[in-house]
């Protein structure tokens, strides 16, 4: 059976090399005589896996020493509550930029715990752009300022960070982490579900500045307290062991096969440019996002005719391109082209789209 080109927004494609390596180690990891899945998380073998994974993540993202890396569960969605429970401990206020459904969910969840302000929104145009931000409108004594760095559903991304001064910037990077270098020191906290660009679902990575840990609210559940996880090296309870192992393999692939984050970024930009260039020139397809806000990870596009969109999705599946159907709130199509999508996949997709345009234009 041939592998398809998988444009899923998440859980998403993983590098074939990583899957093959995992397959080769499935029943026996090293000389342990067991699968990573069967291993005690307190064993020496697993200790090496989690420490290796963390140190690779630290070197890949150049994470400063005064940041903790936490390997958690519960998805990015749990962070919508975990962030306010741990960080909303001064004024009890936080600012949000509403750039899509995930940003809105983070805002709504945090609103249960404190005074949240939406400083800007792009809801007026179906979140197809990143709104301009005026620092004068920011809450000066906010406990944090939250953005969703890459908007998975709408295909937009922040290319400039808000100037929040001393207010810690918190970013949901679920769908863009590891796609390009980021200056971690500009953020108080970064979180991401693994299932887009890092590994399988079930692992959530949190990168948090140390001074933001240790001030959780009294009512915070133990499992939602960053300090508990930081103090126990993500081993307070059983961490998502297999996901951590796969993330380690993905990071090895990123370093050894892709040449690191700078090269990964260039590769991702090349893939995105190929698709956007075609979309901009097409008379049938139209990208839903314009200009610099365009995501290089998620590319939504439409024909403008629902029936034709349906036909395209149907024919694309038959041609070996899966998960191109757009999110129901945007309609049309969406190609998620995360790190693991090879250039050949995007080339093949564009060729297929050209052919479709010829037959249906
Ligand atoms: C997928 C996604 C989420 C939700 O992640 P879960 O791990 O399913 O909770 C949140 N934010 C962004 C930006 C996402 O892409």
Q: How far apart are CA 198 and CA 248, in angstroms?
A: 9
Of 97, 105, 193, 247, best ligand 1 pocket probe by most atoms within 8 Å of the beta carbon: 193
Q: What is the pLDDT of residues 183-208, one digit of tens each?
A: 999 999 999 999 999 999 999 999 99
* Residue 77 beta carbon below 6 angstroms from any ligand 1 atom: yes
CA of 43 to the centre of ligand 1 (A): 31
For the chain, what is the mean pLDDT? 97
Q: Give the residue, out of 74, 150, 152, with the most ligand 1 atoms within 8 A of its beta carbon, to mutate for a pocket test.
A: 152
Q: Is 152 a pocket residue for ligand 1 (Cβ < 6 Å)?
A: yes
Average pLDDT over residues 303-313: 96
For ligand 1, whether the C-beta of 332 sits within 6 Å is no
Contacts of 131 (CB under 8 A, 6+ apart): 97, 99, 120, 121, 122
Average pLDDT over residues 230-246: 98
- Ligand 1, atom 14, lies closest to the CA of 174
**Average pLDDT of the segment spanning 176-189:** 98
Measured in Å, residue 103 CA sits from the centre of ligand 1 at: 10
Which pLDDT value is given to residue 361?
A: 79
Q: Is the CB of 172 under 6 A from ligand 1?
A: yes
pLDDT for the residue 2:
85
119 C-beta neighbours (distance < 10 Å), count: 20
* pLDDT given for residue 101 in this prediction: 98
CB of 204 closer than 8 Å to CB of 74: yes
What's the CA gap between 183 and 157, in Å, rounded? Answer: 16
2 vs 293 pLDDT, higher one = 293
Residue 299, classed as helix, strand or coil, is: strand
Q: Is 298 in the pocket of ligand 1 (CB under 6 A)?
A: no
Classify 79 in phi/psi space as left (phi over 0), alpha (psi -120 to 50) or beta.
Answer: alpha
Kindly report, residue by residue over 44-64, the tens digit of the pLDDT.
999 999 999 999 999 999 999
Q: Looking at residue 325, what is its pLDDT?
A: 97
Which of these, 52, 45, 98, 101, lies nearest to 77 by C-alpha position?
A: 101
CA of 174 to the centre of ligand 1 (A): 6
CA–CA distances in Å: residue 199 to residues 6, 22, 43, 267: 15, 12, 22, 19
Please report the beta strands in 156-226, taking only residues with DSSP state E, as ranges in sequence order. 156-157, 169-172, 189-193, 204-209
CA of 192 to the centre of ligand 1 (A): 7
pLDDT tops 90 at residue 1: no
- DSSP character at residue 132: P
For the beta carbon of residue 360, count every other beta carbon within 10 angstroms. 13
Which residue has the least CA distance to atom 12 on ligand 1?
174
Going by C-alpha positions, the residue among 323, 322, 284, 319 that lies closest to residue 301 is 284
pLDDT exceeding 90 applies to what percent of the chain?
A: 98
CA-to-CA separations, 252 to 67, 101, 271, in angstroms, rounded: 21, 32, 21
SS (H, E, C) 19-75: HHHHHHCCCCCCCCCCCHHHCCCCCHHHHHHHHHHHHHHHHHHCCCCCEEEEEECCH
10 Å Cβ neighbour count for 223? Answer: 14
Please state, in angstroms and rounded to a whole number, the distance separating the CA atoms of residues 199 and 242.
9
Is the beta carbon of 76 within 6 A of some atom in ligand 1?
yes
Contact in structure between 229 and 70 (CB atoms under 8 Å):
yes
Catalytic positions: 102, 172, 196
DSSP letter string, 314-326: HHHHHTTEES-BP
Q: Model confidence over 128-165: pLDDT tens digits?
A: 999 999 999 999 999 999 999 999 999 999 999 999 99
Q: Give the integer Cα–Cα distance in Å for 361 and 356.
A: 8
User: Is 10 a pocket residue for ligand 1 (Cβ < 6 Å)?
Assistant: yes
Q: What is the pLDDT of residue 181?
A: 98
Q: When comparing pLDDT for 122 and 361, which is higher?
A: 122
Q: Is the peptide bond before 11 cis (omega within 30 degrees of 0)?
A: yes
- Given a cut of 90, whether residue 280 has pLDDT beyond it is yes
What is the position in ligand 1's atom list of the atom closest to the CA of 194? 7
- State if residue 111 touches ligand 1 by the CB under 6 angstroms criterion: no
Question: How far away, in angstroms, is 361 Cα from ligand 1 center?
Answer: 36
H or E stretch covering 344: helix 343-360
| DSSP string for residues in 72-121 | E-SHHHHHHHHHHHHH--SSSEEEEEE-SHHHHHHHHHHTTTSEEEEEEE
């Amino acid at each position: 059976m041939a592998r398809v080109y998988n444009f899923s927004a998440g859980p998403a494609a993983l590098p074939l090399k990583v899957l093959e390596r995992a397959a080769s180690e499935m029943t026996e990891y090293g000389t342990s005589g067991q699968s990573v899945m069967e291993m005690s998380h307190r064993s020496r073998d697993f200790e090496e896996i989690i420490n290796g994974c963390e140190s690779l993540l630290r070197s890949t993202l150049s994470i400063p020493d005064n940041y903790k890396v936490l390997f958690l569960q519960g998805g990015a969605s749990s962070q919508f509550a975990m962030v306010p429970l741990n960080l909303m401990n001064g004024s009890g206020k936080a600012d949000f930029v509403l750039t899509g459904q995930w940003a809105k969910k983070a805002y709504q969840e945090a609103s249960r715990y404190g005074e949240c302000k939406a400083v800007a929104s792009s809801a007026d145009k179906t979140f197809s752009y990143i709104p301009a931000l005026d620092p004068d409108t920011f809450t000066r004594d906010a406990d944090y300022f939250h953005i969703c760095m890459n908007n998975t559903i709408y295909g937009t991304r922040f290319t400039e960070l808000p100037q929040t001064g001393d207010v810690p910037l918190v970013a949901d990077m679920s769908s863009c982490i590891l796609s390009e270098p980021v200056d971690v020191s500009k953020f108080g906290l970064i979180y991401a579900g693994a299932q887009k660009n890092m590994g399988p679902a079930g692992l959530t990575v949190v990168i948090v500045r140390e001074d933001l840990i240790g001030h959780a609210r009294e009512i915070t559940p133990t499992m939602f307290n960053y300090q508990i996880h930081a103090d126990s090296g993500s081993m307070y309870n059983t961490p998502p062991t297999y996901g951590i192992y796969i993330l380690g393999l993905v990071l090895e692939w990123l370093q050894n096969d892709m040449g690191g984050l700078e090269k990964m970024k260039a590769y991702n930009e090349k893939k995105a440019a190929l698709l956007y260039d075609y979309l901009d020139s097409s008379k049938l397809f139209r990208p839903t996002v314009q200009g610099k806000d365009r995501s290089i990870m998620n590319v939504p596009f439409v024909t403008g005719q629902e029936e034709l969109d349906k036909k395209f999705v149907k024919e694309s599946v038959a041609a070996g391109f899966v998960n191109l159907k757009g999110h129901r709130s945007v309609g049309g199509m969406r190609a998620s082209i995360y790190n693991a999508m090879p250039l050949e996949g995007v080339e093949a997709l564009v060729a297929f789209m050209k052919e479709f345009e010829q037959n249906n234009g």
